[in-house]
A and B are shown apart, each in its own frame.
Chain A
Amino acid sequence: MTLKHDSIRRALTALACLLVLAGCLVVPGASVPPTANAAAKTITMGTSPDYPPYENVDAAAGGKIVGLDIDIAQAIADKLGYELKIAPSDFDGLIAALQSKRVDFVMSGMSVTEERKKSVDFSDTYYVASNTIVSRQDSGLNTLEDLAGKKVGVQLGSTQEKVVSEIENPTVLKLNKIPDLIQALKANRVDAVIVEDAVAAGYAQSNNDLNIAMIPAGDSGEGYAIAFPKGSELSAPFNEALQEMKNDGSLRQMIDKWFGTKSTVGSKVGGGWLHFDRIGSYMGYLLRGIYVTLLFTLVSAAFGFVWGGILSLFKLSKVAVLRGFSTVYTSVFRGTPLLLQLALIYYAIPQLTGYNIPALLAAGLAFGLNSAAYLSETIRGGIMAVDKGQREAALSLGIPYRTMMFSIIMPQAVKNILPALVNECVALVKESSLVSVIGVADLMRRANVVQANTFLAFEPLLVVGAIYYVLVLALTSVARLLERRMRRSD
């Protein structure tokens, strides 16, 4: 693989930069502080842990990052006497992390390209992957010639895109994620998928209806290498260590360890087309996502409600400036996509303030700010629906404005709008899946991780879908109880 990323993520990053500080480089997504400090004898490695067997989150074993790249990096660090630290990040942000020296080197299944060479230095290659055709078992598609005129799927922006150009007259489908490609293959939407060999082997092992055929390496054999900041002093000692490992066979052993047997996947399974049994060991990992999703929903709902309440008071205020502010605020936050707001906040805050805002906080902030725009209108409606005599009665008793608003008007307003508030919460639970884009390990993100680890495209999504549904059911029944409680004064 060459470029593994969500193109959404990349587009958003670019957009964020464009809007915030034109001409500046993308802020990396890493939430780990810079540590380029050889004196302390620690060395930081940037990697995007979503690409087994090179690097992935070992979901079944507590979220540790494991893989071939990690083993190689550890061996080199040991040889050179460093303590290795791993800074996970999106693939998009890795080059920028190098340039800003937030990490000392990057190993992330990154292949050497002329374009990248302009920005970073590369070590010698440590592995050369070859491309492989994955097709349905009975299709007999084994060579590039066989694929003439067929529908072929490749990962968007990957080196496999180039391979397709050697095929005669193909119809090409480009998707962001390899599990999606495999699903397209199984659903007969494409005849074959071209991916790199280790990935193909993983899928073939987990899906016995798939057939793989290696494409003989052409002259364009791009290999994977370690990337350093331009002019880094590390590249020479790293190359020496790498050479030693090549000579003594330890590199070969590591490659065999990760590619020879699939440690994350069980033995080849029999028929049937859904294999929930294979994600059994990931259930704990998936279920822990409930906590993240709920925490996130709670934080953004609470923040959205409080801020929305304040905005609604602004809208009812006598002060023209406050009214104007909240009107413009609502208009802007309702008029632009939530995903864009999320990316802006996540990428812009570190750039503008130097505070490296954690993803969960950025997401809570974005969703709260957005939700507040909608809620301010709902709450305003609720307040206006409260009989104005309530206000007069409170004023005539000498109750101060704030006490009146919070203890007399708001409780009645909230009761009026409770169903609308529940709607907003339900929407937040589901919209929270957007935060997986910036790497928050919520339910959706975890489903993606399990997809990558198990080579199953479909099952993790179904499981997570069921979890979302149960969460929303639970939420609505809590809301119903609350509503009944509030109705006791009727």
Chain B
Amino acid sequence: MIKVENLTKSFGKLDVLNGISTSVERGEVVAIIGPSGSGKSTFLRCLNLLEVPTGGTIVVDGAELTDPKTDITRIRQRIGMVFQHFHLFPHLTVMDNLIFAPTRVKGMDKSAARAKGLSLLERVGLADKADVYPSKLSGGQKQRVAIARCLMMDPDVILFDEPTSALDPEMVKEVLAVIRGLAHSGLTMLIVTHEMKFAREAADTIYFLDAGRLLERSSPEQFFANPQTERARRFLEQVL
């Protein structure tokens, strides 16, 4: 599904990613963990070209993202992204947030989009919030709407960039429950997270990044029980 080879990214003199190579299978759920500043978010943001890589290649479903001939807008329609700070469109109601991209970009019929929006809102437990503006929602509700907005486009891949980091503790649970519900539904998901318990339970694979390198790539059982590198061991000691 996703094949990354020797991905590098520098901001000026600062090398954030130092040659990451990996591949993600269709339907695989990957949790990306690591100390802050390790390049987790940058790696994720490279996968839909919100950050343009300095070097290396990224192939998503056969399309080479870094090739100038690639229509990145079209590919982004199949790669959803959920942000730490939600980024709902504040001037649109919840329902309009949901149907904007499907109707305006994919040419989906408005009433069909609304029906779909409503069923997705039900799925995230917010069917009664269709006509309110985002400013009236709590953080957890906003993030659930953001996930529903993302699902409206029927993506093959969803990138979660610290989806619970900006939430009050009691709201983390409701959001994680929604994400957990999406796992193993055939969606390919990459989740940057600090929630170790969630990573262990929900992910198929754990990526451990440090200093822009992919130090470990293993199953949750193996990673949490028996990390291979000294760096990962120290990290786990600090967070667990």
Contact = CB atoms under 8 A, between A and B. Distances in A.
Contact of A398 (B88, B101, B133): B101
A490 B134 CA distance: 8
Contacts of B134: 489
B105 A399 contact: yes
Interface string B130-171: 000111000000000010011001000001000000000000
B83 interface: yes
Contact of A387 (B48, B87, B92): B87
A424 to B, nearest CB: 22
B50 interface: yes
Contacts of B78: 398
B104 A412 contact: no
A216 interface: no
A387 B89 CA distance: 10
A367 B35 CA distance: 57
Interface stretch (B10-18, B69-77, B117-125, B191-199): B69-77
Nearest to A387: B87
A411 interface: yes
A398 B108 CA distance: 14
A390 B89 contact: yes
Interface string A384-403: 00010110111111111001
A389 B87 contact: yes
Contact of A403 (B91, B105, B153): B105
A398 B60 CA distance: 15
Interface in B72-107: 73-81, 83, 85, 87-93, 100-101, 104-105
Given A392-B50, A395-B50, A398-B101, A412 B90 contact: yes
B84 to A, nearest CB: 9
Given A390-B87, A396-B48, A396-B76, A407 B153 contact: no
Contact of A397 (B76, B85, B159): B76
A398 B90 contact: no
Interface size class of A (residues with CB under 8 A): 20 to 34
Contacts of A396: 48, 50, 76, 79-81, 159
Given A389-B85, A392-B50, A392-B83, A397 B105 contact: yes
A394 B105 CA distance: 11
A398 B149 contact: no
A482 to B, nearest CB: 14
Given A398-B77, A400-B73, A489 B135 contact: yes
Interface string B33-52: 00000000000000010100
A403 B104 CA distance: 8
B135 A407 contact: no
A400 B75 CA distance: 11
Contacts of A489: 90-93, 133-135
A488 B133 contact: yes
Nearest to A411: B91
A392 B90 CA distance: 14
Nearest to A414: B91
A302 interface: no
A116 interface: no
A415 to B, nearest CB: 7
A407 B50 contact: no
Interface in A406-456: 407-408, 411-412, 415
A393 B105 contact: no
B104 A407 contact: yes
A128 B134 CA distance: 80
B73 A398 contact: yes
22 contacts: A389-B83, A393-B146, A394-B89, A395-B50, A395-B73, A396-B48, A396-B50, A396-B76, A396-B81, A397-B77, A398-B77, A398-B101, A398-B105, A399-B73, A400-B105, A403-B104, A403-B105, A486-B91, A489-B90, A489-B92, A489-B134, A490-B135
Closest 7 CB pairs of A and B: A398-B77, A393-B87, A396-B81, A389-B87, A398-B76, A397-B101, A489-B133
